[in-house]
Amino acid sequence: MSANGNSQPQHGVRVEVRGLRKSYDGHLVLKGIDFAVEREEIFVIMGPSGSGKSVLLKHIIGLETPDAGEILVEGESIRNPEVMNKYRLAMVFQSGALLNSLTVGENVGLYLTEHRLKKPDEIDRIATEKLEFLGLKGVKDRSPSELSGGMKKRVAIARALVIEPQLILYDEPTSELDPLMTVVIGEEILNLKRRIQVTSLVVSHDRDLAFGVADRIAMMHEGQLIAIGTPDQIRQNADPRIQRFLTADFKLNNLQESTYEKHT
């Protein structure tokens, strides 16, 4: 996220990833990733756990340095320190990553406070508004440690929303959330696109969320993108790895008589 506040234009940014490779202790995690996310697009990266989705996201926000390849935001390398000042980028972490030493309200207003973009009263009002929007009324003065996993996730989303970013990265935004809140988050991702034309990059294995919000979906498997396309194109892709991921379901109950039926 940049310190330039609302003086920046409100449109989303284009992100391009070129030949990204990364290994940890000799184990290749990203094996040459290439894709581009267009301005104002909602791009979802799906794939099984351990396929390298979160590592990819960390590279895009500049938290990790690639072994090879580059990430460009509006054509400028993310490794250029000026990019973080020029564009407002935000990330919603899978764990929430809330600062435990601050209250929930202080967490949500942290960006505005630290960059001195608003007065304390205004920051307080914005934090309350964002928290209520995400169904978190009355938690502003509580400590993050008092919240459930799902509540922490929503606070993290509120913290990202406060700055109205140009690129927002979501790492598993609906994990630990109930179906109703999953819909709220999905709608908010779409709302942000409509309202401030933000570019969204979502990493998730929630199929409902992905097909509900994505303009395009990329399927990731063992550190490689094996398909990129619209939701319909991905659904119709014949690759067995994709079909297995998309159609995985509990089937045993359809075949067997349930324990309950047996006893009644």
Contacting positions for other proteins (CB under 8 A): 1-3, 58, 61-63, 84-85, 89-91, 93, 95, 97-101, 110-111, 114-116, 163
Closest CB 95 distance from other proteins, rounded Å: 6
CA distance 97 to 166: 21
- Return the number of the residue (114 or 187) whose C-beta is nearest other proteins: 114
- Return the number of the residue (116 or 195) whose C-beta is nearest other proteins: 116
- Return the number of the residue (116 or 235) whose C-beta is nearest other proteins: 116
Closest CB 115 distance from other proteins, rounded Å: 7
Closest CB 24 distance from other proteins, rounded Å: 12
Q: Where are the alpha helices (DSSP H) in 61-206?
A: 81-86, 104-108, 110-114, 120-133, 149-161, 179-196
- Which candidate, 260, 195, 174, places its Cα nearest to that of 12? 195
- Return the number of the residue (131 or 163) whose C-beta is nearest other proteins: 163
Closest CB 84 distance from other proteins, rounded Å: 5
| Count of beta carbons in the 10 Å neighbourhood of residue 139 | 20
Closest CB 109 distance from other proteins, rounded Å: 11
- Which candidate, 64, 26, 59, places its Cα nearest to that of 45? 59
- Return the number of the residue (116 or 119) whose C-beta is nearest other proteins: 116
The answer to whether the CB of 154 falls within 8 A of the CB of 73 is no
- Which candidate, 111, 114, 30, places its Cα nearest to that of 71? 30
